[in-house]
Amino acid sequence: MKTLPGSTLGMLGGGQLGRMFTIAARTMGYEVVVLDPDKESPAGKLATTHICADYADQAALEQIAKNCDAITTEFENVPASTLEALAKTKPVRPGAKAISIAQDRIQEKNFLKDNGFYTAPFAVINSLEDLKNSISKIGTPAILKVSRFGYDGKGQFGINAESDIEKAWETLEGEACVLEQRMPLDIEVSVVLARGTEGEVVTYPVSENIHEGGILDVSVVPARINEDLETKVTDLAKQIATALDYVGIMAVEFFISNDELLVNEIAPRPHNSGHYTLDACVTDQFEQQVRAVCGLPLGDTRLLSPVVMINMLGDIWHNDQTPKWQKLLNHPNVKLHLYGKKEARPGRKMGHFNVLAENIDDALKLAEDLKNQLSKAN
């Protein structure tokens, strides 16, 4: 069944991804109900209705089930029980199964391994004992990552020598973890894709991603990889979506290490590395999410221009001074996106900008220049 404009969509989570979904949905004539416990939620401000409550709040879930025609999410940490409860009355896309895999690194890594997708060598860690035993197999350098609730490199600890083991275990407070070999990275790339209710898949052009301190910093599209690799990456992402029997928008992050292609992780939602689609593709990833969730035909993912996306973190608000937006706005080929967050904390994603140009080199040069100008104290 298709959910058509005029209907009401439920969005679990009210961060920037929910906000950009809300903008797309409202542009297309849908009403949006956002559930987020934060009063200042970026998506809540633009929603038709913001339900300010916890993700497991019974009354809130009843209200969503009653008023929404289809439901989706913008972050993987929504409790699976919430998705299952809502799915009893309304379509929830993606479903609880795919989200419960993506929200738990142990399940995610095991899913990938069991389905024949290569990842960095890893071990499941439930105790200090496990960690001591596994480090000899995985070797150093390695990274210990909490299984649940990690994001933007949070909940991770680098282990460079056996002497770091106890500190790593203490820092992550003895939670269930995955220990991963730290791979030498040639390049990191990702694929955003949408899979519809009939199993049809559309993929976006591969994005090349540069991280800074575990947080995405720059995306370059088209990625500077050869065609053969581009096809492989895209096919793998499709196969993963199909293996998950996925409906909705998702992203797969890859490492290319010593010419080998490894899956890093799966995001069951729009992705930061897909923000370039907002200005550079026929259909952006948020409209695509609306289409997939509503059972509509999927949109054209064609790239209209080379593009570079730059993330803007709270760090560039020196002494609470607003960055000089004028620097960006002076350029007709630069597109500014701000998420409406009041408090600029270091590491907090506040917005991004897209630079469109004839070629990647020109886009990168202007993007880097502008980034430096924005973040200068004076």
For residue 231, give the nearest of 244, 242, 222 by alpha carbon: 222
Nearest distance from residue 151's CB to Mg ion, in Å? 8
- Rg of the chain's alpha carbons, rounded to an integer? 20
Asked whether the beta carbons of 193 and 243 are under 8 A apart, the reply is no
Return the one option of Mg ion, ligand ATP, none that residue 340 interacts with (CB less than 5 to 8 A, by type). Answer: none
* Residues facing 31 on adjacent strands: 8
User: Of these, 37, 214, 295, 340, which contacts ligand ATP (CB under 6 A)?
Assistant: 214
Residue with smaller CB distance to ligand ATP, 56 or 185: 185
SS3 assignment, position 86: helix
Q: What is the tally of helices (H) and strands (E) in the chain?
A: 12, 17
- Look at the block and give the residue holding tokens 């004076």: 378
- 151 near ligand ATP, judged by CB under 6 A: yes
Residue with smaller CB distance to ligand ATP, 31 or 265: 265
Number of residues binding to ligand ATP, judged by CB under 6 A = 18
Nearest distance from residue 210's CB to ligand ATP, in Å? 9
Return the one option of ligand ATP, Mg ion, none that residue 120 interacts with (CB less than 5 to 8 A, by type). Answer: ligand ATP
Nearest distance from residue 73's CB to Mg ion, in Å? 17
User: Of these, 45, 182, 238, 348, which contacts ligand ATP (CB under 6 A)?
Assistant: 182
- 121 near ligand ATP, judged by CB under 6 A: no
Site map 210..249 versus Mg ion, x via CB under 5 A: ----------------------------------------
Site map 249..278 versus Mg ion, x via CB under 5 A: ----x-----------x-------------
Residue with smaller CB distance to Mg ion, 69 or 265: 265
Return the one option of Mg ion, ligand ATP, none that residue 337 interacts with (CB less than 5 to 8 A, by type). Answer: none
One-letter amino acid at 109 equals K
Q: Cβ neighbours of residue 250 under 8 Å, at least 6 residues apart?
A: 94, 98, 102, 192, 193, 194, 195, 241, 244, 266, 267, 268, 269, 271
Chain centroid to CA 188 = 14
* Residues facing 188 on adjacent strands: 209, 255
Nearest distance from residue 120's CB to ligand ATP, in Å? 4
In the DSSP assignment, the letter for residue 148 is: B
Nearest distance from residue 192's CB to ligand ATP, in Å? 13
Site map 248..267 versus ligand ATP, x via CB under 6 A: -----x----------xx--
Asked whether the beta carbons of 88 and 66 are under 8 A apart, the reply is no
Q: Write a three-state SS string for 281-331.
A: ECCCHHHHHHHHHCCCCCCCCCECCCEEEEEEEHHHCHHHCCCCHHHHHCC
Residue with smaller CB distance to ligand ATP, 118 or 324: 118
Binding site residues, ligand ATP, CB under 6 A: 120, 143, 145, 150-154, 180, 182-183, 185, 188, 211, 214, 253, 264-265
